[in-house]
Amino acid sequence: MHGAVKPALFILLCLPAAWLVWAAVADQLGANPAEALIRSLGDWALKCLVLVLAITPLRVLTGWSALARLRRMTGLFVFFYACLHLLAYAWFDMAFELSDIVADVFKRPFILVGMSAWVLLLALAVTSFRRAMRALGAQRWQYLHRAVYAVAALTVLHFFWMRSGKNDFAEVAVYGAILATLLGWRLWRRLAPHRGA
């Protein structure tokens, strides 16, 4: 892999956050900037999740093993945008009132599902480094990081419930189909050797 690929991807994945900061400062986020910011950050967390789940299939199909070197950084960007999404919600919707946030989590299922996905992402982020892998052991580390599949399911459910209030499911269906395809490919790869036995 060319040495410029990883820095270039890092810059590309930073650009949406930079644009949203500029748009917020320049008042370019429309009539409801808080809602636009919260939703845009959530959308970018989901897009990065799709990207990180696509890396392994692309690596297998293209034979370009160096793609695996991009997986950890891309996964951390999923967590980065999810944290900004949560921060924007806590700030603009809840004014950092912890008691109100806790009450909202248990009152609205889509918030509970989204928070559950964030907690799993936190566990994956803090154990994404080599020291954590050595401490956990390779097998336990792999079992833990399969939680990304649960993150994908919870994220789509969070997105579905959020859009259900406006009966707007087209984008949810697209992301759901993409993630189902990526996860289905992994399941097929896992079961294929047994089917041939």
pLDDT digits 0-9 by tens, 52-71: 999 999 999 888 888 989 99
Percent of the chain having pLDDT more than 70?
96
Instruction: For residues 96-102, give the mean pLDDT.
Output: 95
DSSP letter for 68, please: G
More confident residue, 3 or 193: 3
Q: Which of 7-11, 163-167, 188-192 has the highest mean pLDDT?
A: 7-11
Angle at 147 between CA 17 and CA 177, to 5 degrees: 70
Whether 14 shows a pLDDT value over 50: the answer reads yes
Nearest Cα neighbor of 125 from 89, 86, 88 is 86
Angle at 107 between CA 148 and CA 171, to 5 degrees: 50
CA distance 140 to 146: 10
Contact 154, 111 (CB under 8 A): no
Whether 172 shows a pLDDT value over 60: the answer reads yes
In the chain, where the domains are located? 5-195
Q: Can you tell me which residue has the tokens 């695996």? A: 68
Contacts 24+ apart (CB under 8 A), 92-97: 92/34, 92/35, 92/37, 92/38, 93/34, 93/38
Contact 55, 74 (CB under 8 A): yes
pLDDT value of residue 189: 83
Average pLDDT in the chain: 91
pLDDT value of residue 170: 86
pLDDT tier at 197 (50, 70, 90 boundaries)?
very low
- Pull the structure tokens for residue 34: 């808080």
pLDDT value of residue 4: 86
Quote the longest CA-to-CA distance of the chain: 62
CA distance 186 to 90: 35
CA distance 75 to 49: 7
pLDDT value of residue 57: 92
Query: What is the sign, positive or negative, of the torsion defined by CA atoms of 146, 51, 119, 183?
Result: negative
pLDDT value of residue 193: 61
